[in-house]
Structure 1
Amino acid sequence: MLRFIFKRVLWMIPALFAVSFLAFVLIQLPPGDFVTNYVATLAASNEIIDQNAADALRERFGLGEPMLLQYGKWIWGILVHGDFGTSFEWQQPVGDLVWERMALTLTLTLSTLVATWAIALPIGIFSAVRKYTIGDYIVTSISFFGLAIPSFLLALVLMYIAVVIFGQDVSGLFSDEYQNAPWTWAKVADLIHHLWIPVIILAVSGTASLIRVMRANLLDELNKPYVTTARAKGLSEFRLLMKYPVRIALNPFISTIAWLLPNLVSGSIVVAVVLNLPTAAPLLLQSLLAQDMYLAGAFVLLICTLTLIGSLVSDILLAIADPRIRLE
């Protein structure tokens, strides 16, 4: 296992270099650059910038240099100084912009994960054990509904319910008085008060999917000979269920870690925009639209790094939980 982990970590290094280069190239493929978008935005507000001023901006941001030279300077700054560059649009260090959004993104994602697992695991077990009963049919219908409903539509419905019925502010994750306030227990309580809407929206689709996967996997395990043998030896039904088939059927839950970590950054961009959430996803979208290449490149590089780490962690945990898939 240690040899496997070591080889995987070594392979991450060239993979990250390749991905970072491809991301840097793809961000610059659309026609124009950041200055082009900036000039077009000002023109829409009846502010005109002449060509000399635009060329001066390109020279200031280094956009006139060859792409390979721009990439070389960017990756060298990351490796040597830990500097991801400066955002063109925000005129701030990219590292500061990224990490200030990650705390709230981490809170939202982990809350969604806990809610998803806490709901999907017991309901999936119930649906498998009580297959073809009224309860199973109800769970199946709700799961299909959860998979089918668009997240942005659910967000709009929950926002309407929260405002009309509960009289709650649904813009962002904090009330106005706590928006820029230092962290206190009152601010934490306000965050929790606003957190339930995005958690429900983001958890619905994942919960519905995992319920179906858990039910299918558990049904496969319940019909295997080892379950019949354990039952014949007098093992109680609950202990039998939890000790063997449920443990094996948990593999899909563990494998979700592979996409959980990159989801910290990308998340559900549409939901985050609809709810005006101060997470990383809207900032990533804005950087791509503005062709803010250093900010967008940092996000893409972070997503790829978290994908590789998540896959490694998932493989290790799967090997620990299920001896059948160990390399030995």
Structure 2
Amino acid sequence: MLRYIIRRVLWAIPILIGVSIVSFFIIQLPPGNYLTALMASMRATGESVDMSQLQTLSERYGLDEPMIVQYWKWISGIVLRGDFGQSFLYTRPVSDLLWERLGLTFILAFTSMIFVWLIAFPIGVYSAVRKYSIGDYVMTFVGFIGLATPNFLIALILMYVSFTVFGQSAGGLFSPQYLDAPWSWAKFADMMSKIWIPVVVIGTAGTAALIRIMRANMLDELPKTYVDAARARGLSGAHAVTKYPLRVALNPFVSRIGWELPELISGATITAIVLSLPTTGPLLLEALLAQDMYLAGSFIMMLSVLTVIGTLISDLLLAWLDPRIRQGVVG
């Protein structure tokens, strides 16, 4: 197992280097750069363009240098000094923008994952054990509705219901008096009172998908011989189901971690915009539209790192959970 971990970590290094190169150059593909986009925006609003100021900014950030030089300045700053660069759009260090949004995004993503697991786990098992029952048909119908309905549409419906029925806005994570207030128990309680709407919206599609996956995996395992053998040895029906087939069917729940971490950065961007959530997705979209190369590149780099880490964690947990995978790793 240790050799497997070391091999995976060593493979991750060239992958991250390649992803950083590709992502940085993709950001540079549109014609012009942040300064040309800024000039076009100023002219569209009738503002005067100070060419000397733009030239100063270009020299400061090396925008007049070749892309390979710009890339080296960016990646060497990250690796050697932990400096992600300066955001052109917000005129602030990228690291400040990154970390202030990442905390709220993590809370939202983690809460959504727990919600998905708590709902999908028992419903999927019930639908498999009681297949073709009325409850199974009802859960299947609800699951198909959840898969077919876009998350942003559910967000719009909940916002409308919240405003018309309860007279409250469902947007954002904080009440107006807590938006700029320092963290306190009152602010945390206010966030938890509002977080359930984005959690339900973001978790709907994932819950519906995992219910179907859990049901299908359980139906594949229940007819197998080892389940009949467990029952023949005197195990009760519930014990025979939970001890063996359920453990194998848990694989999709564990493998979900592999893409749950990258969703901290990119997940549910449209839903976050609709609900006015202060998460990383809308900020990444703004950076891409404005060609803010340091901010967008840092987000994409963070997305790649979290993808590699999440995949490694899910693989290790799967090897621990499933003896078949563990034997394959050891061999």
State whether TM-score is above 0.5: yes
Which whole-Å deviations, capped at 9, do the CAs of 1:57-82 have from their partners, x for residues lacking one? 32233210110001111111111111
Which whole-Å deviations, capped at 9, do the CAs of 1:1-59 have from their partners, x for residues lacking one? 10000011111111111110111000000111101111122122111316555444322
CA distance in 1, matches of 2:22, 2:319: 32
* Residue equivalent to 1:315: 315
The offset of 1:225, in angstroms, is 0.3
**One-letter code aligned to 1:160:** Y
* Residue equivalent to 1:205: 205
CA distance in 1, matches of 2:98, 2:224: 49
Q: TM-score, normalised by structure 2?
A: 0.97
Which whole-Å deviations, capped at 9, do the CAs of 1:82-138 have from their partners, x for residues lacking one? 101111111111111100101100000000000000000000000001111111111
* Residue equivalent to 2:67: 67
* Alignment partner of 1:141 is 2:141: yes
* Residue equivalent to 1:123: 123
* Residue equivalent to 1:175: 175
Which whole-Å deviations, capped at 9, do the CAs of 1:246-265 have from their partners, x for residues lacking one? 11100000000000000011
Contact 1:169 1:175 in 2 (8 A): no
* Residue equivalent to 1:188: 188
* Residue equivalent to 1:218: 218
Matched residue SS, 1:138: helix
The offset of 1:167, in angstroms, is 2.1
The offset of 1:153, in angstroms, is 0.8
Moved more, 96-105 or 59-68: 59-68
* Residue equivalent to 1:259: 259
* Alignment partner of 1:229 is 2:229: yes
**One-letter code aligned to 1:263:** E
CA distance in 2, matches of 1:188, 1:309: 29
CA distance in 2, matches of 1:235, 1:57: 73
Which whole-Å deviations, capped at 9, do the CAs of 1:134-168 have from their partners, x for residues lacking one? 11111111111100001111110010111111222
* Alignment partner of 1:289 is 2:289: yes
* Residue equivalent to 2:41: 41
Matched residue SS, 1:181: coil
Matched residue SS, 1:264: helix
CA distance in 2, matches of 1:158, 1:41: 35
* Residue equivalent to 1:246: 246
Matched residue SS, 2:316: helix
* Residue equivalent to 1:15: 15
Distance 1:184 1:53, change over 3 A: closer
CA distance in 1, matches of 2:42, 2:151: 33
Contact 1:268 1:281 in 2 (8 A): yes
**One-letter code aligned to 2:75:** I
CA distance in 2, matches of 1:48, 1:151: 42
Question: Mind listing any 5+ residue stretches in structure 2 that lack a counterpart?
Answer: none
Contact 2:102 2:280 in 1 (8 A): yes
The offset of 1:193, in angstroms, is 1.2
Contact 2:158 2:170 in 1 (8 A): no
Identity over aligned pairs, percent:
55
Question: Mind listing any 5+ residue stretches in structure 1 that lack a counterpart?
Answer: none
Q: Which aligned segments of 4 or more residues in structure 1 are displaced greater than 3 angstroms?
A: 50-57
Which whole-Å deviations, capped at 9, do the CAs of 1:192-244 have from their partners, x for residues lacking one? 11101100110000000000000000000000001111112221111111111
CA distance in 2, matches of 1:208, 1:216: 13
* Alignment partner of 1:276 is 2:276: yes
CA distance in 1, matches of 2:39, 2:275: 29
Q: TM-score, normalised by structure 1?
A: 0.98
* Residue equivalent to 2:106: 106
Distance 1:126 1:292, change over 3 A: same
**One-letter code aligned to 1:15:** I
Moved more, 152-161 or 167-176: 167-176
**One-letter code aligned to 1:266:** S
Moved more, 171-180 or 204-213: 171-180
Equivalent residue pairs, number? 328
CA RMSD of aligned residues (A): 1.1
The offset of 1:283, in angstroms, is 0.5
CA distance in 1, matches of 2:170, 2:206: 22
